């Protein structure tokens, strides 16, 4: 899938103006209604989603990335960094809540979004990116496996969606450091 004549942009966001927030909320509800991503099962409406994103921007451990198609926010992802007290796992971070609105899919934006989050995580010193996905989200599974994520486990009771228990897959990817040596995966390394 190629970008063709669309402008694709992913940026880390520290503030959202009202117009961008409105577009982002619309994109989020559209993704929820279509059935994928973000943990929510039912559409939330603009007010609840705006509260969510304003809250996310206040949390130091979370970085918000916005995907834009022709300048308009159409999706997002969050990079969650480990708490400061978790020194032993400070080398890892979590990619979560990644989605693109159905009307903006197929242009390569999700691939760009994930790559930007990976680059940022690596630049912050993280060497591992972890994520998990419902087994039913086959497009996302293709996306992550295509980007080199390794599935290391499946949780049989991962989520409940409309009264049904759904299993979920857990993935990780080793990140290339901008400088220095890659992570040594050998035990004790």
Ligand X SMILES: CC(C)(COP(=O)(O)OP(=O)(O)OC[C@H]1O[C@@H](n2cnc3c(N)ncnc32)[C@H](O)[C@@H]1OP(=O)(O)O)[C@@H](O)C(=O)NCCC(=O)NCCS
Contacts to ligand X by CB under 6 A: 1, 31, 36-37, 98-100, 105-111, 133, 137, 139-140, 142-143, 146
Least distance from ligand X to the Cβ atom of residue 100, Å = 4
Indicate the residue among 5 and 184 with the shorter CB distance to ligand X.
Answer: 5
Q: Using an 8 Å Cβ cutoff, are 24 and 73 in contact?
A: yes
Least distance from ligand X to the Cβ atom of residue 133, Å = 5
List C-alpha distances in Å: 89 to 130, 133, 150. Answer: 11, 21, 18
Indicate the residue among 108 and 125 with the shorter CB distance to ligand X.
Answer: 108
Least distance from ligand X to the Cβ atom of residue 152, Å = 16
How many residues does this entry show for the chain?
Answer: 189
Least distance from ligand X to the Cβ atom of residue 38, Å = 7
Indicate the residue among 130 and 137 with the shorter CB distance to ligand X.
Answer: 137
Q: Give the C-alpha separation, 105 to 42, whole Å.
A: 20
Indicate the residue among 36 and 125 with the shorter CB distance to ligand X.
Answer: 36
136, 101, 18, 52 alpha-carbon torsion, rounded to 10° = 0
Q: Give the C-alpha separation, 81 to 15, whole Å.
A: 19
């Amino acid at each position: 899938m190629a970008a063709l004549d669309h402008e694709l942009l992913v940026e880390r966001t520290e503030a959202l103006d009202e117009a961008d927030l409105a577009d982002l909320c619309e994109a989020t509800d559209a993704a929820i209604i279509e059935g994928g991503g973000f943990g929510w099962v039912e559409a939330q409406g603009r007010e609840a989603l705006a509260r969510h994103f304003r809250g996310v921007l206040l949390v130091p451990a979370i970085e918000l990335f916005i995907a834009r198609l022709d300048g308009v926010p159409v999706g997002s992802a969050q990079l969650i960094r480990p708490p400061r007290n978790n020194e032993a796992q400070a080398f890892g971070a979590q990619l979560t809540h990644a989605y693109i609105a159905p009307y903006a899919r197929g242009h390569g934006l999700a691939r760009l979004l994930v790559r930007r989050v990976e680059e940022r995580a690596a630049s912050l010193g993280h060497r591992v990116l972890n994520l998990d996905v419902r087994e039913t989200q086959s497009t996302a599974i293709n996306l992550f496996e295509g980007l080199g994520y390794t599935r290391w486990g499946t949780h049989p009771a991962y989520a409940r969606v409309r009264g049904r228990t759904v299993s979920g897959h857990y993935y990780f990817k080793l990140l290339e450091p901008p400088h220095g040596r890659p992570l040594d995966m050998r035990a004790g390394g």
